[in-house]
Homo-oligomer: A and B are copies of this chain.
Amino acid sequence: MRATYLFGAGDIRVIDVPDPMVQLPTDALVRVVRACVCGSDLHPYHSRPASENGASIGHEFVGVVEEVGAEVTTLSAGDFVIAPFAVSCGWCEFCRAGLQTSCVNGGFWNDRKLGTGGGQAEAVRVPLADGTLVAVPGVDAGTDETRLASLLTLSDVYGTGWHAALRGGVGAGSTVTVIGDGAVGLLAVLSAARLGAERIVLMGRHHVRTDLGREFGATDVVAERGEEGIAAVRELTDGGSPIVLEAVGHLPAYEQAVGVVRPGGVISRVGVPQYADAPVGFGSLFGPNITLTGGPAPARAYIERLLPDVLDGTVNPGRVFDAVADLEDVAKAYAAMDERSALKVMIRP
């Protein structure tokens, strides 16, 4: 089959690889209907050292089950499924607690130990299929493009935005600042609005994106960055935002979060940190009793909760996709997201 591999910084190619197969009785083989490129894929796209063999990439997809192993009980060939970005067993302590990203039996896509490939491909072998996949009855993989886009966001970005808001403690009447106008930031805005936030300040400088953020529920947009941006948010929120959702992952975004958060407030991070150390001392987090929380979203934990409103069109998180590319054009999709001419590109195998 054809699959996307990253061979080094900027060197993304679609190549021929062996067809994936059911290997274990708990596996499923899924034919990919739609995949996409994630903002977090751009991190290795910028920095991965060159290698001869490359490595598969992509961790968001929806598809149709083609075959299941003998022990799979909740899925059958023909089922339309959403694949969250983590593989999880469903029965360990962490899965039961809704923290599937810490599953002791699972792992992630593109993982050598688990033997998983990537979602930006024609098909994917899914380990621990009962725990990992969510079947969605009544979806026609051939016709309903709008719905497919929104379902695909449940694989990662909508669940990740939701995780940010939940961990941040957003509730009725909350004042929230969202840092980042990428797909996750915009869906953190949508999530905060769904959870009842009254004031949502979106920090971002790309008009098309922040306009969508307003449609998703942002009440204010701050385009400035650094000290100027911090001052603007502190002014808007009368001294600092009680909840800050950080959806970027670079150190300046973290520093911005520390700058705008209110004493006693919460910074909830879902942007994958591209730094190891950061300020946490008396002058940053400790003195004003700031809580730092967040991490990789257990997207699997949120699918059932978020699905009904997606299926009936109450929300349309799939609007974050502003471009579609065939699998063979995946390199163009990466380039478009990298140069920010596209917000998020859907991939059609």
Do the beta carbons of A264 and B296 come within 8 Å of each other?
no
Do the beta carbons of A275 and B281 come within 8 Å of each other?
yes
Q: Would you call A273 an interface residue if the criterion is a C-beta within 8 Å of the partner chain's C-beta atoms?
A: yes
Do the beta carbons of B264 and A273 come within 8 Å of each other?
no
| Chain A interface extent, by class | 20 to 34
Do the beta carbons of B263 and A94 come within 8 Å of each other?
yes
> How far, in whole Å, are A101 and B284 apart by their CA atoms in the complex?
15
Do the beta carbons of A286 and B279 come within 8 Å of each other?
no
Q: Beta-carbon contacts of A264-299 to B below 8 Å, as 1s and 0s?
A: 100001001101111111111111111111111010
Contact of A263 among B102, B282, B283, B286 (CB under 8 A): B102
Complex copy number for this chain: 2
| Distance of A241 from chain B, by nearest CB (Å) | 14
With A280-B273, A280-B280, A291-B293 as given contacts, are A94 and B285 in contact (CB-CB < 8 Å)? no
Q: Which chain B positions have C-beta within 8 A of A276?
A: 279-281, 283-284
Do the beta carbons of B277 and A279 come within 8 Å of each other?
yes
Q: Would you call A99 an interface residue if the criterion is a C-beta within 8 Å of the partner chain's C-beta atoms?
A: yes
Contact of A295 among B102, B272, B289 (CB under 8 A): B289
> How far, in whole Å, are A286 and B102 apart by their CA atoms in the complex?
11
Nearest B residue to A297, CB-CB: B289
> How far, in whole Å, are A264 and B95 apart by their CA atoms in the complex?
11
| Distance of A333 from chain B, by nearest CB (Å) | 25
Q: Would you call A77 an interface residue if the criterion is a C-beta within 8 Å of the partner chain's C-beta atoms?
A: no
Q: Would you call A97 an interface residue if the criterion is a C-beta within 8 Å of the partner chain's C-beta atoms?
A: yes
| Distance of A102 from chain B, by nearest CB (Å) | 4
Q: Which chain B positions have C-beta within 8 A of A273?
A: 280-282, 286
Q: Which chain B positions have C-beta within 8 A of A288?
A: 102, 295
Nearest B residue to A275, CB-CB: B281
Contact of A264 among B97, B279, B283, B285 (CB under 8 A): B97
With A97-B264, A289-B102 as given contacts, are A277 and B269 in contact (CB-CB < 8 Å)? no
> How far, in whole Å, are A264 and B283 apart by their CA atoms in the complex?
26
Contact of A272 among B275, B282, B298 (CB under 8 A): B282
> How far, in whole Å, are A273 and B278 apart by their CA atoms in the complex?
13
> How far, in whole Å, are A276 and B282 apart by their CA atoms in the complex?
7
| Distance of A301 from chain B, by nearest CB (Å) | 11
Q: Beta-carbon contacts of A190-215 to B below 8 Å, as 1s and 0s?
A: 00000000000000000000000000
Q: Which chain B positions have C-beta within 8 A of A285?
A: 292, 295
> How far, in whole Å, are A97 and B240 apart by their CA atoms in the complex?
15
Do the beta carbons of B278 and A289 come within 8 Å of each other?
no
Nearest B residue to A280, CB-CB: B278
Contact of A296 among B167, B283, B286 (CB under 8 A): B286
Contact of A292 among B94, B275, B293, B298 (CB under 8 A): B293
| Distance of A160 from chain B, by nearest CB (Å) | 12
Task: List A residues at the B interface (Cβ < 8 Å).
Answer: 94, 97, 99, 101-102, 167, 263-264, 269, 272-273, 275-296, 298
Q: What are 25 residue pairs bridging A and B, where the CB atoms are less than 8 Å apart in the complex? A: A94-B263, A94-B264, A99-B263, A99-B264, A101-B289, A102-B289, A167-B291, A272-B286, A273-B280, A276-B280, A276-B284, A277-B281, A278-B278, A278-B280, A280-B280, A286-B295, A287-B295, A288-B295, A289-B293, A289-B294, A289-B295, A289-B296, A289-B298, A290-B295, A291-B292
